[in-house]
C-alpha cells in the first residue's frame, strides 16, 4: 500500500511539474511576442550565430535552458549542419538574401564538421558572389578559422581573437592505481601498439606511438587553420607568430597583423547591419525552403556517438536504432540510395559487427560520409560501404581492438585484510574476479579471444576495401589517420562533405531529383521530457563529468571487446 501511494504521488508531482513548465513556455512566448515564423524580406542578411556546438542535427528542445530563460539569460543552441547545408545552398540562389553574418561567440566543433561548414561558406560565396561578414566580442580558434572566409572580419576593441595553436593532454593513472593496489588489466590485439584508448590506465607516460600519431594529427589540424588564413592573404609565418605571441588578447595587434579587418562595438556594428538589411536566423530561413517535388528519396542515416550495447538514441549508436534505420530505408521502395553519416569514436565490437552485417545485406547503393571521426568501431561500420567520403581533417582508422578489466587483489587482501575463498568447477568459472589477478592461463585465453576479434576486424576491412592483408596490416594496429591520410592509403575513397556524398549516391542510383529522408526519427524535447517523468536521476556531482570517470563508466556498462578511440582525440 505504501508503494502504491508513493507511485501515485510521484505521478501527480510529475504531472504538476509538466503543467508548470508548459505554462512557463507560454509565458515566455507571450512576453517576447515574437512571430514563430518570421518572413523572408527582400533585403535579408542571414544570421549564423557561431555559439554552442556544431551538430549534424540540432534537436529542437523547447524545455532546454528553461531555468536560464526565466532568468533572462541567453541559452546557446546547437547549430544543425543539416539546416546550415540547406540554408546556404538555397540562399545562394535566392535574390532576397544579400549575404551572411557570422555572429561569433563560444563556438565549438570537431575539425571534420568545421571543415564542412567552411566548404559550404566558400561554396556560397563562389556561387552567389554575395558577401560574408563576421563580428564578435570573442572568437574561438575555430570561429576565427571561419572568419578568415569572410569578406570583412570585425572584432570588439577589447575583444579576444583566440589563436594559440593546437595542443592536447592526457592524464596517466597507473601510478595512482598502484598506490591503492588496483591493477587495470588491458588486453590489446597483438601488435596494437597505437591502440591508446586505455593507455592512461596501464602506463605512467605517453608511448612513442601515441605521441607520434597525436603530433601528426594536431599538425594537420593547424595546417587546416593555416590554409584558411593563407586564402585571406596571411602567410603561415605571420600566423605562427600570432599564435606564439598570443596576440589574440590584443585587438589592436590583431588588426595590425591583418587577422581582422576592423574594430567596432557591437551596438554600432549591429545598428549598421540593421539599417541596411533585414536580419534573419538561418534556421528560420531553412524552415521556409520549399520542399522538393520528387518521388525518389535518398536516406541519410545519422550514426552518431559512441557504439554501445543499449538500444541507442540520437547521441549514441546501439543495437537497435541504426539497424532499424538501415532496414527501414532498405525496405522503402522510394529510397533509391542510402548515405550513412558516421560520426563515432567506436565502442562495442559486437554492436559494430551487427551493424556491419546489416549493411552487407543491403543491395541499394550505400555511401558513407565521415564527419568529425569514424574510428575503431566507427570505421568497422564504414568499411563495407560502396564508397567512403571523408573530410581531410576527419579522424578515422584506428583499426584495433582491446578488452579492459580491473583487479584489486592487493587492495583487498593486503590493505583491507579481506580473504576471498573460491569454489569452482572450471578455471574460468569465477572470472573476472576483483580480488584475484588472472593467472597466465586465464590471460592467454583472453589474448587469444582478442586476437580472434582483431583478425575478424581486419579481415572485414580487407574484404570491404578489396585490400591484400599484407598491405592493410601496417595501416592497422590501432593507428588513427586523418581523412587526407585515409584517401592516400586507401582506407577512404574521396575527400568530400555530406553534400558530395549525397550527390555521389544519387549518381550511383541514377536519379537527379530526390528528397532527403533523415533517419532515425528524432524525438523533440517535450517527448523526451514526458518519457523521463517519474524516472529517478542521480545527483549531478561535478567529478562525474571527469573524462576518466566517464571512461570507466562506459567500460563498466559496455563489457566485452572494444573497438574504440582514445577519448583524448575527441577533445582536439
pLDDT per residue as tens digits for the range 394-437: 999 999 998 888 889 899 989 999 998 999 999 889 888 888 88
Indicate the pairing of strand 562-564 with strand 346-348. antiparallel
> How far is the C-alpha of 319 from the C-alpha of 256, rounded, in Å?
55
Which of 286, 318, 336 terminates a domain? The answer is: 286
> For residue 68, what pLDDT is reported?
45
> For residue 526, what pLDDT is reported?
54
pLDDT digits (tens, 9 = 90+) for 327-344: 999 999 999 999 999 999
Contacts of 248 (CB under 8 A, 6+ apart): 139, 144, 160, 161, 162, 163, 164, 242, 254, 259
Cα dist from 442 to 429, 555, 558, whole Å = 11, 20, 21
Same domain membership, residue 269 and residue 348: no
Judged against a pLDDT cut of 90, whether residue 571 lies above it is answered with no
Domain count, the chain: 2
Same domain membership, residue 497 and residue 351: yes
> How far is the C-alpha of 487 from the C-alpha of 495, rounded, in Å?
7
> How far is the C-alpha of 70 from the C-alpha of 25, rounded, in Å?
9
- For 435, other C-beta atoms within 10 Å of its C-beta total 18
> For residue 558, what pLDDT is reported?
56
> For residue 406, what pLDDT is reported?
85
> For residue 461, what pLDDT is reported?
97
Count of residues making up the chain? 572
> For residue 64, what pLDDT is reported?
52
> For residue 186, what pLDDT is reported?
85
Alpha helices (runs of H) in 473-546, residue ranges in sequence order: 483-489, 498-509, 525-532
> For residue 561, what pLDDT is reported?
63
> How far is the C-alpha of 200 from the C-alpha of 553, rounded, in Å?
15
> How far is the C-alpha of 274 from the C-alpha of 185, rounded, in Å?
61
Q: Which residues pair with 373 in a beta bridge?
A: 395
**Looking at the domain assignment, is residue 561 inside a domain?**
yes
Same domain membership, residue 325 and residue 228: no
Indicate the pairing of strand 262-263 with strand 152-161. parallel
| C-alpha cell recorded at residue 569 | 582525440
Higher pLDDT, 569 or 142: 142
Judged against a pLDDT cut of 60, whether residue 559 lies above it is answered with no
> For residue 160, what pLDDT is reported?
97
> For residue 460, what pLDDT is reported?
97
Given pLDDT bands bounded at 50, 70 and 90, which one contains residue 310?
confident
Supply φ then ψ for residue 297, to 5 degrees: -135, 150
- Looking at the chain, the whole-number percentage of residues with pLDDT higher than 90 is 70
**Looking at the domain assignment, is residue 27 inside a domain?**
no
> For residue 5, what pLDDT is reported?
45
Place of cell 590506465: 201
Most confident of 77-81, 151-155, 167-171: 151-155
Average of pLDDT values for 165-186?
A: 91
**DSSP string spanning 29-91?**
HHHH---SS----TTEEEEEEEEEEEESS----TTTTHHHHHTT-----PEEHHHHHHHHHHH
Q: Which domain holds residue 127?
A: 39-58+77-167+214-286
Supply φ then ψ for residue 218, to 5 degrees: -65, -30
Average of pLDDT values for 265-292?
A: 96
Judged against a pLDDT cut of 90, whether residue 317 lies above it is answered with yes
Same domain membership, residue 253 and residue 310: no
> For residue 274, what pLDDT is reported?
95
Higher pLDDT, 433 or 298: 298
Same domain membership, residue 272 and residue 376: no
> How far is the C-alpha of 55 from the C-alpha of 82, rounded, in Å?
9
Same domain membership, residue 326 and residue 396: yes
Average of pLDDT values for 224-232?
A: 97
Same domain membership, residue 514 and residue 379: yes
CATH of the domain at 244: 3.90.226.10
pLDDT digits (tens, 9 = 90+) for 461-505: 999 999 999 999 999 999 999 999 999 999 999 999 999 999 999
Lowest mean pLDDT among 205-209, 250-254, 343-347, 439-443: 439-443
Which of 240, 266, 286 terminates a domain? The answer is: 286
Helix axes 111-128, 208-231, angle to 10 degrees: 20
Average of pLDDT values for 218-228?
A: 97
**Looking at the domain assignment, is residue 352 inside a domain?**
yes
Same domain membership, residue 259 and residue 366: no
Of 76, 65, 77, 66, the residue nearest 20 (C-alpha): 66
Alpha helices (runs of H) in 129-259, residue ranges in sequence order: 141-147, 174-180, 199-202, 208-231, 236-245, 251-257
Q: Which residues pair with 278 in a beta bridge?
A: 44
Contacts of 218 (CB under 8 A, 6+ apart): 166, 167, 168, 572
Cα dist from 90 to 87, 96, 291, whole Å = 5, 11, 11
Report the predicted TM-score, pTM, of the whole model to 2 decimal places.
0.86
Contacts of 31 (CB under 8 A, 6+ apart): none
**Looking at the domain assignment, is residue 16 inside a domain?**
no
> For residue 57, what pLDDT is reported?
93
Of 328, 343, 351, 382, the residue nearest 569 (C-alpha): 343
Q: Which residues pair with 390 in a beta bridge?
A: 495
Chain-centroid distance, C-alpha 251: 32
**Looking at the domain assignment, is residue 517 inside a domain?**
yes
Average of pLDDT values for 146-151?
A: 98
Backbone conformation region of residue 165, classed left if phi is above 0, alpha if psi is from -120 to 50, else beta: left
> For residue 403, what pLDDT is reported?
86
Indicate the pairing of strand 366-375 with strand 346-348. unpaired
**Looking at the domain assignment, is residue 414 inside a domain?**
no
> For residue 431, what pLDDT is reported?
87
Given pLDDT bands bounded at 50, 70 and 90, which one contains residue 184?
confident
> For residue 69, what pLDDT is reported?
45
Judged against a pLDDT cut of 50, whether residue 288 lies above it is answered with yes
Supply φ then ψ for residue 328, to 5 degrees: -60, -45
Looking from the CA of 551 toward its CB, the CA atoms found within 13 Å total 25
> For residue 188, what pLDDT is reported?
87
Given pLDDT bands bounded at 50, 70 and 90, which one contains residue 124?
very high
**Looking at the domain assignment, is residue 350 inside a domain?**
yes
Same domain membership, residue 156 and residue 222: yes
Average of pLDDT values for 286-314?
A: 94
Judged against a pLDDT cut of 50, whether residue 249 lies above it is answered with yes
> For residue 345, what pLDDT is reported?
94
Cα dist from 381 to 321, 361, 399, 506, whole Å = 14, 13, 11, 21
Same domain membership, residue 470 and residue 446: yes
Higher pLDDT, 45 or 433: 45
- Identify the DSSP state of 545: G
Average pLDDT, the chain: 87
Judged against a pLDDT cut of 60, whether residue 25 lies above it is answered with no
Same domain membership, residue 150 and residue 128: yes
**Looking at the domain assignment, is residue 18 inside a domain?**
no
> How far is the C-alpha of 118 from the C-alpha of 150, rounded, in Å?
10
| C-alpha cell recorded at residue 470 | 599484407
Which of 224, 255, 286 terminates a domain? The answer is: 286
Same domain membership, residue 370 and residue 266: no
- For 216, other C-beta atoms within 10 Å of its C-beta total 15
Amino acid at each position: 500500500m505504501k508503494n502504491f501511494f508513493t507511485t501515485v504521488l510521484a505521478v501527480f508531482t510529475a504531472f504538476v511539474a509538466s503543467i508548470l513548465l508548459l505554462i512557463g513556455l507560454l509565458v515566455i512566448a507571450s512576453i517576447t511576442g515574437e512571430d514563430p515564423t518570421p518572413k523572408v524580406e527582400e533585403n535579408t542578411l542571414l544570421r549564423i550565430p557561431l555559439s554552442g556546438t556544431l551538430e549534424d542535427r540540432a534537436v529542437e528542445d523547447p524545455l532546454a535552458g528553461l531555468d536560464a530563460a526565466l532568468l533572462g539569460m541567453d541559452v546557446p543552441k546547437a547549430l544543425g549542419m543539416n539546416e546550415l547545408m540547406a540554408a546556404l545552398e538555397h540562399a545562394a540562389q535566392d535574390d532576397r538574401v544579400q549575404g551572411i553574418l557570422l555572429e561569433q561567440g563560444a563556438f565549438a566543433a570537431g575539425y571534420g564538421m568545421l571543415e564542412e561548414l567552411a566548404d559550404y561558406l566558400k561554396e556560397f560565396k563562389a556561387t552567389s558572389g554575395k558577401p560574408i561578414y563576421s563580428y564578435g566580442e570573442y572568437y574561438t580558434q575555430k570561429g576565427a578559422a571561419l572568419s578568415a572566409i569572410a569578406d570583412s572580419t570585425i572584432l570588439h576593441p577589447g575583444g579576444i581573437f583566440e589563436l594559440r595553436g593546437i595542443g592536447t593532454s592526457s592524464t596517466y593513472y597507473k601510478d595512482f592505481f598502484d598506490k591503492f593496489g588496483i591493477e587495470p588489466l588491458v588486453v590489446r590485439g597483438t601488435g596494437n601498439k597505437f591502440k591508446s584508448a586505455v593507455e592512461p590506465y596501464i602506463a605512467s607516460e605517453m608511448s612513442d606511438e601515441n605521441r607520434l600519431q597525436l603530433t601528426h594529427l594536431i599538425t594537420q589540424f593547424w595546417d587546416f587553420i593555416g590554409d584558411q588564413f593563407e586564402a585571406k592573404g596571411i602567410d603561415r609565418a605571420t600566423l605562427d607568430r600570432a599564435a606564439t605571441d598570443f596576440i589574440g588578447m590584443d585587438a589592436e595587434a590583431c588588426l595590425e597583423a591583418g587577422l581582422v579587418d576592423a574594430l567596432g562595438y557591437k551596438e554600432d556594428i549591429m545598428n549598421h547591419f540593421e539599417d541596411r538589411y533585414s536580419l534573419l536566423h538561418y534556421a528560420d530561413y531553412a524552415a521556409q525552403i520549399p520542399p522538393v517535388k520528387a518521388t525518389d528519396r535518398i536516406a541519410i542515416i545519422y550514426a552518431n556517438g559512441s557504439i554501445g550495447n543499449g538500444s541507442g538514441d540520437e547521441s549514441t549508436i546501439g543495437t537497435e536504432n541504426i539497424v532499424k534505420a538501415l532496414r527501414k530505408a532498405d525496405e522503402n521502395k522510394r529510397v533509391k540510395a542510402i548515405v550513412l553519416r558516421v560520426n563515432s569514436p567506436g565502442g562495442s565490437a559486437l554492436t559494430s559487427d551487427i551493424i556491419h552485417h546489416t549493411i552487407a545485406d543491403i543491395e541499394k547503393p550505400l555511401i558513407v560520409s565521415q564527419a568529425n571521426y569514424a574510428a575503431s568501431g566507427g570505421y568497422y561500420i564504414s568499411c563495407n560501404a560502396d564508397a567512403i567520403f571523408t573530410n581531410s581533417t576527419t579522424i578515422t582508422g584506428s583499426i584495433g581492438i582491446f578488452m579492459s578489466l580491473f583487479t584489486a587483489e592487493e587492495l583487498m587482501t593486503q590493505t583491507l585484510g579481506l580473504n576471498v575463498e573460491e569454489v569452482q568447477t572450471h578455471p574460468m568459472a569465477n572470472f573476472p574476479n576483483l580480488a584475484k589477478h588472472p593467472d597466465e592461463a586465464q590471460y592467454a585465453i583472453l589474448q587469444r579471444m582478442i586476437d580472434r576479434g582483431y583478425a575478424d576486424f581486419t579481415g572485414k576491412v580487407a574484404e570491404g576495401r578489396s585490400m591484400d592483408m599484407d598491405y592493410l596490416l601496417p595501416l592497422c594496429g590501432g593507428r588513427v589517420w586523418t581523412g587526407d591520410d585515409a584517401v592516400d592509403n586507401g582506407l577512404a575513397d574521396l575527400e568530400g562533405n555530406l553534400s558530395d556524398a549525397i550527390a555521389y549516391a544519387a549518381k550511383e542510383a541514377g536519379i537527379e531529383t530526390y528528397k532527403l529522408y533523415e533517419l532515425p526519427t528524432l524525438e523533440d524535447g517535450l517527448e523526451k521530457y514526458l518519457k523521463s517523468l517519474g524516472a529517478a536521476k542521480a545527483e549531478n556531482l561535478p567529478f562525474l563529468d571527469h573524462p576518466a570517470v566517464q571512461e570507466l563508466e562506459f567500460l563498466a556498462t559496455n563489457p566485452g571487446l572494444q573497438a574504440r578511440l582514445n577519448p583524448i582525440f575527441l577533445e582536439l
